[in-house]
């Protein structure tokens, strides 16, 4: 399985500020995904990021709020912009398994608290 | 977004017992059905998965049962152990894209 390093692991931020979350993978992957997991809840897909193209956002998520970069096949960032307490959540980076194997691997997540 | 319904929300089982978690899906195009296990402070980890061309898959104490006609699948954990206490998510995807997750089941195995 791919190994994902996600940073930061947690942060406490002031409302109105922005936080950029980094996701580094130990192998080249075509597709990377960003999920949000609110406390005690399921995982909700924010967007899919393919290298060389703009991210595709799910309904309810917009680029101005969650800009994503995907500069190469092993790295992506998600920015949570103009944060409010409602953005307090765990943000997870995920990648498809390499080699055409079905399944996703997840990072350990970024626990964000907005005060 | 939720296209996969999972139950129960929480489950308490005695050590050595069988834990059963159920999921139902809507989209008949789904072709991959994984189960993920998540411990507090960690990301979900793939536990076991099945494709719709088989009705059952077993890996150690973990078994997926799949009913294509009913659009349902379930996870059975045999001889449940306290170390199995975690949150379990079923999921479904088509062509390994846009994986959709169930609401999760918090399993507690009492010693």
The pLDDT score that the predictor gives to residue A99 is 67
Model confidence pLDDT, tens digit, residues B70-96: 999 999 999 999 999 999 999 999 887
Contact B43 A107 (CB under 8 A): yes
Residues 68-87 of A with CB under 8 A from B: none
Model confidence pLDDT, tens digit, residues B26-69: 999 999 999 999 999 899 999 999 999 999 999 999 999 999 99
Residue environment code for B8-40, b if the CB has 16+ CB neighbours within 10 A, otherwise e: eeebebeeeeebebbbbbeeeebebbbbbbbee
Distance CA B89, CA B77 (A): 13
State which residue of chain A sits closest to B32, comparing Cα positions.
Answer: A102
Q: How confident is the model at residue B15 (pLDDT cuts 50, 70, 90)?
A: very high
Q: How confident is the model at residue A8 (pLDDT cuts 50, 70, 90)?
A: very high
Contact B104 A42 (CB under 8 A): yes
pLDDT at B98 over 90: no
Model confidence pLDDT, tens digit, residues A15-41: 999 999 999 999 998 889 999 999 888
Q: Residue ranges of the alpha helices (H) in chain A? A: none
- All residues of chain A having their beta carbon less than 8 Å from the beta carbon of residue B36 are 106
Q: How confident is the model at residue A100 (pLDDT cuts 50, 70, 90)?
A: low
DSSP calls for A58-83: PTT--TTTS-EEEEETTEEEEEE-S-
State which residue of chain A sits closest to B4, comparing Cα positions.
Answer: A42
Best mutation target, A43, A48, A97, A110, to test chain B (most B CBs within 10 A): A43
Mean pLDDT of A60-86: 96
The pLDDT score that the predictor gives to residue B97 is 78
């Amino acid at each position: 399985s791919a190994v994902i390093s996600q940073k930061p692991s947690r942060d406490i931020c002031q409302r109105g500020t922005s936080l950029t979350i980094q996701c580094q993978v130990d192998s080249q992957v075509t597709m990377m995904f960003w999920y949000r997991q609110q406390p005690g809840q399921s995982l909700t897909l924010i967007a899919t990021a393919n290298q060389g193209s703009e991210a595709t956002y799910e309904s309810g998520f917009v680029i101005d709020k969650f800009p994503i970069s995907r500069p190469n096949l092993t790295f992506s960032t998600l920015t949570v912009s103009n944060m409010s307490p409602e953005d307090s959540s765990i943000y997870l980076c995920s990648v498809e398994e390499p080699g055409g194997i079905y399944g996703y691997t997840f990072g350990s997540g970024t626990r964000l608290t907005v005060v | 977004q939720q296209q996969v319904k999972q139950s129960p929300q929480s489950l308490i089982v005695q050590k050595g017992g069988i834990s059963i978690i159920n999921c139902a899906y809507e989209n008949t195009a789904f072709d991959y059905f994984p189960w993920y296990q998540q411990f507090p402070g960690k990301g979900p980890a793939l536990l076991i998965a099945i494709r719709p061309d088989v009705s059952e898959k077993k890996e150690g104490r973990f078994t997926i049962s799949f009913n294509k006609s009913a659009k349902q699948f379930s996870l059975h954990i045999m001889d449940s152990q306290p170390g199995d206490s975690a949150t379990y998510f079923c999921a479904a995807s088509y062509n390994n894209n846009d994986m959709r997750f169930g609401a999760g089941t918090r399993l507690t195995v009492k010693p």
